[in-house]
Amino acid sequence: MTNDTLRIVIVGHVDHGKSTLIGRLFYDTGSLPVERYREIERTCREQGREFEFAYLMDALQEEREQNITIDTAQSFFRTAKRPYIIIDAPGHKEFLKNMITGAAAADAAILLVDGTEGVREQTRRHAYILSLLGLRQVAVAINKLDLAGYRRDRFHAVEEDIRRFLHSVGIVPSYVIPISAREGDNIASPSPRMPWNQGPTLLSALDSFSPAREASRLPLRFPVQDVYVWDRKRIYAGRVESGAVRPGDRVTFSPSGKSSRIRSVEKWSLPSLSLASAGECVGVTLVDELFVERGEVMGTADDDPPRGGTELSASLFWLGNEPLRLNGRYILKLATAEAEVTLSAIPERLNSSTLEVIERHAERVENLEVANVTFTLSRPLAADTFEENPRLGRFVVAVEGFVAGGGIVREVRTDGIGSRARVIRLHSRTMTEPDGNFVDLSQEAGPVEFDLSPGFIDRLGKGERLAIRLRTADQLEKVSRLAFGHDLAFEFRRDGEGAKVVLYRVGPPRVPVIEDAGPVI
């Protein structure tokens, strides 16, 4: 028995038996509260209906939604080897969205195909999404073979079909298993009704999969979720998405390129850890207290640190009701970063269930279509290709605050915008003007970046103010980001010489709450 939970997703065309299979998995592994089972049996009998495992699923789902008795532990099922979590409910309206956004990062998948109906539209669409998400551990279950007389030739015909399609999307299934979810054939024990089958049962197939732990072997990716000042320390909080971080490591932030050394790795209750690896939410402190904002990604300086890009090529699945339009402006969210982007090219638009190219050099992508696209970013963002590092190679696109699509990064390009910015250093020695602290940006027409020292923040904390003379609205945006990231307030003023802002500090520092932000949104 291991405690390494395996997260599985069960996909397939509507009515091919997903809910029934889930009920069966709970039942056959003894993971279902017996009263629940009895209750549903009784209701079915009273209503003169046949017992349906799918009702179990509905009942579990209802309870979960109402939050009554089912806690997360109970939504697991267990084999002798390990606990499992079934991610999301099939048929749920958010299902595709959750899969795409990574809110539901699965280790393995069961693709269910009705043995009497064969491969259908959603079978193909879901298979494509599995491939888009890079899921490599896939078991295909050919279901309802009881309705096909448990015939070997029927199984093989459907097996051949699904293998051919999966091959076209780059998936080699680990197993193709003949089952009947309703009758319980080949789920927990080999079925005597299909003696011709020599392969494993569905549960032993699942037990052979491993939790996706490769993330710890990839280079460090630590997207900064928040920066706190606490107990005179500047704490950079976030989740280690891949790799590991240790005190003493030399680190670099992308896209700013700032670097330092790790002083400590901390958790709220454990102030000095020797290591934090993929999946852990921690705070780190640095030897130099850098001004780094939410959205930057920390990597190890000498182990392939993340790069900033200003143009991304991507494969995208569109869920928006309104089409995705060429030259449209969207918000792209990648790890903890957000950037305004322009959809600058749609080289290919595809049908997501047949994968046929519908159009080249398209002007729009419709609901439930797939496309290869290029985004031009308003500012550099740290990204990896999905192939290099899935944790930083996946994004969602938001429209009016809602996720309307998502995809994976195929290529990251940069035009060097980041390096052109003029760095304005705000150190304690900046603050020597006789009539207060003053920075003049009125001669700076190009992009600027602020570099802030902790000493400077301390002085503002003691009630000092900083006036900044502005030339452009972009500079104002930079100041507002500075204020946002460091709990500062500012006032915008105009006088005879133009625009200026006054930056100051109010109130005590925030108490840090290190939360799990999830992989993408």
| 308 makes contact with ligand GDP (CB under 6 A) | no
Q: Rank residues 189 and 272 by Cβ distance to ligand GDP and give the closer one.
A: 189
Residue 414 beta carbon to ligand GDP: minimum distance, rounded to whole angstroms: 45
Q: Rank residues 132 and 141 by Cβ distance to ligand GDP and give the closer one.
A: 141
| 197 makes contact with ligand GDP (CB under 6 A) | no
Residue 475 beta carbon to ligand GDP: minimum distance, rounded to whole angstroms: 55
Q: Rank residues 183 and 311 by Cβ distance to ligand GDP and give the closer one.
A: 183
Residue type, position 311, single letter:
E
Distance of CA 465 to the CA centre of its chain: 40
Handedness of CA 165, 170, 176, 181 (dihedral sign): negative
| 147 makes contact with ligand GDP (CB under 6 A) | yes
Alpha-carbon gap, residue 278 to 215, rounded angstroms: 6
- At 186, list the tokens: 């080949």
| 109 makes contact with ligand GDP (CB under 6 A) | no
Contact 84, 380 (CB under 8 A): no
- At 114, list the tokens: 């009705």
- At 231, list the tokens: 């107990």
- At 453, list the tokens: 């020292």
Q: Rank residues 23 and 305 by Cβ distance to ligand GDP and give the closer one.
A: 23
Q: Which range touches ligand GDP (CB under 6 A), out of 121-129, 143-151, 383-391, 502-510?
A: 143-151
Q: Rank residues 353 and 430 by Cβ distance to ligand GDP and give the closer one.
A: 353
Q: Which range touches ligand GDP (CB under 6 A), out of 12-20, 271-279, 369-377, 401-409?
A: 12-20
| 239 makes contact with ligand GDP (CB under 6 A) | no
Distance of CA 199 to the CA centre of its chain: 34
Name which position in 28, 88, 107, 146 contacts ligand GDP (CB under 6 A).
146
> What DSSP state is assigned to residue 274?
S
Kindly determine how many residues on this chain lie close enough to bind ligand GDP according to the rule CB under 6 A: 19
The alpha helices in 138-288, defined as continuous H runs, are 152-168, 202-208
| Of residues 52-91, those binding ligand GDP (CB under 6 A) | 52, 54, 90-91
Q: Rank residues 15 and 464 by Cβ distance to ligand GDP and give the closer one.
A: 15
Alpha-carbon gap, residue 26 to 63, rounded angstroms: 15
Structural Rg of the chain based on CA atoms: 27
Angle at 335 between CA 90 and CA 379, to 5 degrees: 130
Q: Rank residues 112 and 371 by Cβ distance to ligand GDP and give the closer one.
A: 112
Q: Which range touches ligand GDP (CB under 6 A), out of 13-21, 280-288, 418-426, 493-501?
A: 13-21
- At 74, list the tokens: 């109970």
| 20 makes contact with ligand GDP (CB under 6 A) | yes
Per-residue binder mask for ligand GDP (CB under 6 A), 251-270, x = binder = --------------------
| 241 makes contact with ligand GDP (CB under 6 A) | no
Contact 143, 21 (CB under 8 A): yes
Q: Rank residues 162 and 499 by Cβ distance to ligand GDP and give the closer one.
A: 162
Contact 440, 430 (CB under 8 A): no
| Of residues 27-56, those binding ligand GDP (CB under 6 A) | 52, 54
| 144 makes contact with ligand GDP (CB under 6 A) | yes
Angle at 427 between CA 422 and CA 431, to 5 degrees: 110
Q: Rank residues 20 and 137 by Cβ distance to ligand GDP and give the closer one.
A: 20
Residue with tokens 């998502």: 406
| 16 makes contact with ligand GDP (CB under 6 A) | yes
Name which position in 8, 19, 55, 377 contacts ligand GDP (CB under 6 A).
19
Name which position in 126, 154, 182, 239 contacts ligand GDP (CB under 6 A).
182
Q: Which range touches ligand GDP (CB under 6 A), out of 138-146, 305-313, 455-463, 469-477?
A: 138-146
| 15 makes contact with ligand GDP (CB under 6 A) | yes
Alpha-carbon gap, residue 62 to 291, rounded angstroms: 47
H or E stretch at 441? none
**Selection from 256, 270, 260 nearest residue 307 by Cα:** 256
Q: Which range touches ligand GDP (CB under 6 A), out of 8-16, 243-251, 364-372, 419-427?
A: 8-16
Contacts of 315 (CB under 8 A, 6+ apart): 132, 370, 371, 372, 373, 407, 408, 410
| 180 makes contact with ligand GDP (CB under 6 A) | yes
| 178 makes contact with ligand GDP (CB under 6 A) | no
Longest dimension (CA), the chain: 93
Q: Rank residues 61 and 385 by Cβ distance to ligand GDP and give the closer one.
A: 61
Contact 251, 224 (CB under 8 A): no
Q: Rank residues 126 and 379 by Cβ distance to ligand GDP and give the closer one.
A: 126
H or E stretch at 85? strand 83-86
Contact 378, 341 (CB under 8 A): yes
Distance of CA 198 to the CA centre of its chain: 38
The residue ranges that bind ligand GDP (CB under 6 A) are 12, 14-20, 52, 54, 90-91, 143-144, 146-147, 180-182
